[in-house]
Amino acid sequence: MPKGLAILTSGGDSAGMNPAVKCAVEYANQKGYQTHLVYDGLRGLIADNIVPATRDLVSGLLHRGGTLLRSSRSPEFFDIEVRRKAYENLVRRGIGNLIVIGGDGSFRALNQFHSDFGIPFAGIPATIDNDIAGTDYCLGVDTALNVIRESVDSIRDTASSFSRAFVIEVMGRHCGYLALTSALACGAEICLVPEIPYDLESIGARLKHDIANGRRYVIAVVAEGTKMGDYLTRWINDSIGMEARLTVLGHVQRGGSPTVQDRIMAYKFAVAAVDALDAGQKNSIMVFRDGSYSHLPIHQVTDSKYKLDPAIIRLASPLAC
């Protein structure tokens, strides 16, 4: 198999992608690979938007959020003839290995590509939702949590000043990790996520008791997947009798300079990915579980459903009742 190696980012962007790209290039170069960068994700593979990974292209990446390689949605990649064009682009450049930094959708696409043409790949988990099975951590999560923490701390100041309730909606379509973790870290009074049944009547009784005993403001954190942001805001106004405001944090959670944790995790994932390819692994995903780094065959990741840590659910459950 050719010693060329290409690196791409795919799916939703997250802080930690850029450090992973830089570290993967530098470590792969040390191992004797001729490294390349793919711009625009899967679409870049198809369009041959591939360039040698020169030093100047990866300099100054550690502190940059998002992905300078850019990303894209590429439904055309499901067409075998389109994938063949991507394969021919790689062959022409002598590239026989891929590292993809993204989520399980990106991993599935590369696994199909491997099945078609035999190009080995290693996947680095990167999504702020932290919802990839088999790993306790995905790149970008710590940075996103710190963005949320800073926002909630700022909102708390004005909530206290005006004796108001604030509902903060965070990302997480199917996974409540960001909401649960930030609610605990920020001392929220309410947390609604898809994984935990909630009881508004019980929440209301608890808050009325707290208000009667001196509580002057309320902070609620909800995952976007619950679709409860607007409703909860109106409910607090009408049922609790406290003026409430809704703040949707949105895509600000994906940006920001990567934290120390995300930079170090990016480095360790990148090294593990290059080592996996160097050892002959064909389609493995890098994972961090119980404090250790390893890799899993892709089917063990994509065929499993991510589950929240039961310990976090136990800690946060009182905020939903």
Where in the sequence numbering do the catalytic residues fall? 129
Picking from 101, 109, 97, 98, the residue whose alpha carbon sits closest to that of residue 21 is 101
DSSP 8-state secondary structure symbol assigned to residue 139: B
Q: Token digits for 15?
A: 């802080």
From the centroid of its chain, how far is CA 17? 10
Q: Token digits for 230?
A: 């607007």
Kindly list the distances between the CA atom of residue 189 and the CA atoms of 96, 170, 218, 280, 314, in Å, as whole numbers in the listed order. Answer: 52, 15, 6, 50, 15
The rounded distance, in Å, linking the Cα atoms of 42 and 242 is 49
Q: Which residues pair with 37 in a beta bridge?
A: 7, 51
The rounded distance, in Å, linking the Cα atoms of 201 and 295 is 45
The rounded distance, in Å, linking the Cα atoms of 62 and 264 is 10
Q: Are 134 and 147 in contact (CB under 8 A)?
A: no
The rounded distance, in Å, linking the Cα atoms of 235 and 244 is 9
The rounded distance, in Å, linking the Cα atoms of 140 and 71 is 15
The rounded distance, in Å, linking the Cα atoms of 263 and 63 is 8
The rounded distance, in Å, linking the Cα atoms of 198 and 191 is 9
User: Could you give the count of Cα atoms lying within 13 Å of 48 in the half-sphere of its Cβ?
Assistant: 10
Q: Token digits for 288?
A: 């961090």
The rounded distance, in Å, linking the Cα atoms of 163 and 158 is 8
